[in-house]
Every structure is written in C-alpha cells, then in structure tokens.
Amino acid sequence: MATTTPDAVVTTHGLTKRYPNGIVAVDGLDLVVRRGEVYGFLGPNGAGKTTTLRMLLGLIRPTAGSANVAGGSPGTPASLTKVGAIVEAPAFYPYMTGYDNLRLLAIYCGVPVKRVDSSLDAVELTPRARHKFSTYSMGMKQRLGIAAALIKEPEVLILDEPTNGLDPQGMADVRKLITELGQGDRTVLVSSHLLGEVEQMCTRIGVIRKGKLVAEGTIDELRGKSKLLIRAKPADQAMAVLVGECGADKVKANDDGAFTLSVEPARAAELNRRLVQAGLDVTELRETERSLEDVFMELTGTESGL
C-alpha cells in the first residue's frame, strides 16, 4: 500500500474497478501523487489508465477501494472545484465558438469571465477564439481542452493522453505547455503510453499493467544503477579476471561475447588495468544505462507505444 504523505494531493487505496462482464480494469491500485509534481501515469493501451483517471474524476464508480483528490472524494464539489481535467479527446459544443465554450465553463464553475481570455492566451488560441469549435484542428481542440482545464485555476490537472492525435509539432507544444503548467505548486497527473513524452515532462512516474501499479519512482530510480559493459579477448580469461575482481554474482556474460558488470562505473579504469595486466585485449569499455524503454518493456511485457 502506498504511504500517504502530508503533501499528497491525489491518493488511492486499493482502488478497483470490476465491470459486470468480469473484466477487472483496475485492480487494487495504490497511488500517491504529491503537490507540485508532474506525475506520469504510464502503461500500455488497455492497462487501466483511463479507467483510473475517470474514477479520480468521479465519472466511474469504483467497485472497491477509495480515492481522495485535492482534499475531497472524486466527483464531489469539494474535489471538482480544485481539479481541471481532460479525459481522452476534449469534447465541446460544436455549434459554439471556442470563446463561448470557455465562457460556458466559466459560468458553470462560477469563475470570472475574464479568465476565459487568460486561459486562451495560455494555450495561444486567442486568434481562433471566435471561430466555431467544429472548425478546429485536432491540435486546436486539444489546446482548447487544456484551456478549459485551466479555467478553474485548478490545484490539480488531470490529463488523459493529452497528445493523442497530434502531429509532432502539436505534441511538442503540448509537452512544453504541460511542463510549464507543472511549475510551482500545481500538480499535474498525466497519463500516456508514450515513453519519450513521459520522460520529457514528468518528475515521477507510475507504471500500470493490467490494472496494477507495477513500479513507481523518478526516471532515474526506475532505470536503476548504471552498469559497466566490457568486451575483452580471450573471453574465457576475461571472465576469470572479472569474476575474481567483482564476484561471480556481479558478472553477466552477454550473448555477443561482452560482459555486463553490476558495479560502480567509477571502477572502469581499475578493471581495465587488471585486464591489460593479465595480457588481455580490451576492445570495449563503457558505462551502460537501461533505457526507460527497457524498463517499460520489462515491467509491462509489451512493446506498445514505443
């Protein structure tokens, strides 16, 4: 179970969603998102990310467990007042302009209408604000969605796959915007199945697979410690030297004849010297780092979204 800290803004305890057909979309999820962080909720398609976010917004009722979002139960006015969200594709009224759609939300939320202009400015949509939503491109719709999420000046932003359907420039723009929005005290919880995206935007990551949280931490924590890769000839003698220096449990022979050593990279010079002193030819010696992609595939057993 995740430990609730005083600065936790989003917490779930054993959150579970089981559909009547028996499918368990989310299975005993324990999650803690702290104030001021950009938390990446990472998982392959169908892992339960959207169901979780919908439960955090009160759109879906959990079958078990509990959640607290910005000091209130999901879907209650106490929580909704402080939360801005985009769930999947942003949805607005197609017959109204972007401005009118945001003004409508300002009325719903009871916030000053002047926030409409500042929200539109924040997403650089002011020039198209007076055009009908139905004429917007996918990127503009997404940006309007973010503007709508911002109109309450929320403490917590919950964004479900905010770059879905965008072209590379649009994706870059949205990532930059989310990074900016996450500065200061505002907390951003963003789901994605795109590793690169999460790596660029997020300070901490939770990886979900088949409805369960399988890993959580900073990107560095998830990658784990760096290792050394050594290639030396003859390989059997190199193996003997390395095992003697580091211990058998720290040396792994790779299929391509190289060795991966689970030791501090600072030992590179020393190990090189030992191998040379033993009369071996060292052809490669470098520090290796697991990519987030490796970690993701290892944790989720998939290749989706890569």
Q: Which residues bind another protein (CB under 8 A)?
A: 54, 57-61, 75-77, 80-81, 83, 85, 87-96, 100, 103-105, 107-110, 148, 152
Tokens of 296: 């993701």
Is the Cβ of residue 87 or residue 198 nearer to another protein in the bound state? 87
Q: How many CB atoms lie within 10 A of CB 185?
A: 10
Q: How far is the CB of 171 from another protein (least distance, A)?
A: 22
Residue-wise burial string across 65-104, b where 16 or more C-beta atoms lie within 10 A, e elsewhere: bebbbbebebbeeebbbbbbbbbeebebeeeebbbbbbbb
Q: How far is the CB of 170 from another protein (least distance, A)?
A: 20
What are the backbone dihedrals phi and psi of residue 145, each rounded to the nearest 5 degrees, phi first?
Answer: -60, -40
Distance between CA atoms of residues 244 and 269, nearest Å = 16
Tokens of 195: 């590793």
Q: How far is the CB of 283 from another protein (least distance, A)?
A: 57
Is the Cβ of residue 85 or residue 246 nearer to another protein in the bound state? 85
Q: With the C-alpha atoms ordered 201, 106, 87, 11, is the resulting torsion angle positive or negative? A: positive
Is the Cβ of residue 116 or residue 258 nearer to another protein in the bound state? 116
Alpha helices in the chain (DSSP H): 49-56, 77-80, 98-109, 114-122, 138-150, 168-181, 195-201, 219-223, 235-246, 268-277, 292-300
Helix, strand or coil, per DSSP, at residue 45: coil
Contact present, 165 and 142 (Cβ < 8 Å) = yes
End-to-end CA distance of the chain: 29
Is the Cβ of residue 104 or residue 243 nearer to another protein in the bound state? 104
| E strand or H helix that includes residue 182 | none
> Checking DSSP bridges between strand 212-217 and strand 83-86, what pairing results, if any?
unpaired
Q: How far is the CB of 113 from another protein (least distance, A)?
A: 11
Q: What is the DSSP string of 209-269?
A: ETTEEEEEE-HHHHH-S-EEEEEEESHHHHHHHHHHHH-GGGEEE-TTS-EEE-S-GGGHH
Q: How far is the CB of 304 from another protein (least distance, A)?
A: 21
Is the Cβ of residue 73 or residue 254 nearer to another protein in the bound state? 73
Is the Cβ of residue 151 or residue 292 nearer to another protein in the bound state? 151
Is the Cβ of residue 129 or residue 232 nearer to another protein in the bound state? 129
Q: How far is the CB of 160 from another protein (least distance, A)?
A: 10
Q: How far is the CB of 162 from another protein (least distance, A)?
A: 15
Q: How far is the CB of 300 from another protein (least distance, A)?
A: 23
Q: How many CB atoms lie within 10 A of CB 206?
A: 27
Is the Cβ of residue 106 or residue 194 nearer to another protein in the bound state? 106
